[in-house]
A = this chain, B = another copy of it.
Amino acid sequence: MLAKENDVFLCFTVYATLLIVKMYLIAIVTGQLRLRRKAFANPEDAMRHGGLQYHRDDATVERYRRAHRNDMENIFPFLFLGAIYSLLGPNLLLARIHFLVFFIFRIVHTVAYLFALRAPIRSVAYSIAQLPCFSMALQILTAVINYC
């Protein structure tokens, strides 16, 4: 059971779950965009919505898909690193800073991506969000490297 004593893990759980919900929202909006712009990845979808000419790519849909893929590349590893790091018994304030920095800058990354904000806003947000990830990976490895 989730022990109420493990505040760090519970704090991690909040941000992790919110980021997953954020990814779900990108997927939903991508689907709506496909319908609105009539740009379908599959011929069977195009057939249902006007004909095979709508089996095509769309620049905005592709942008959303790139944002979503970048989330998979970065948020999924955070789900693992954050969970293990929480179990190392870190200081709550320090841990919260790790999670919060990742959370905030992944949100900035998404906004910069979807609205095509001028470079390098998106790349900077990505880089800052990676800092707590590298920090957690380093702390995990320091703690467990003798067990490999």
A residues at B contact (CB < 8 Å):
1-2, 6-7, 10-11, 13-18, 20-21, 23-24, 27, 31, 41-45, 47-49, 63, 66, 68, 72-74, 76-77, 79-81, 84, 87-89, 96, 113, 116-120, 122-123, 130, 133-134, 137, 140-141, 143-145, 147-148
Give min CB distance, A145 to chain B, whole Å.
6
Q: Which residues of B are found within 8 Å of A10, using beta-carbon distances?
A: 144, 147
- A14 x B116 contact (CB < 8 A): no
With A1-B89, A20-B137, A47-B119 in contact, do A13 and B84 touch (Cβ < 8 Å)?
A: yes
Are A48 and B88 in contact (CB-based, < 8 A)? no
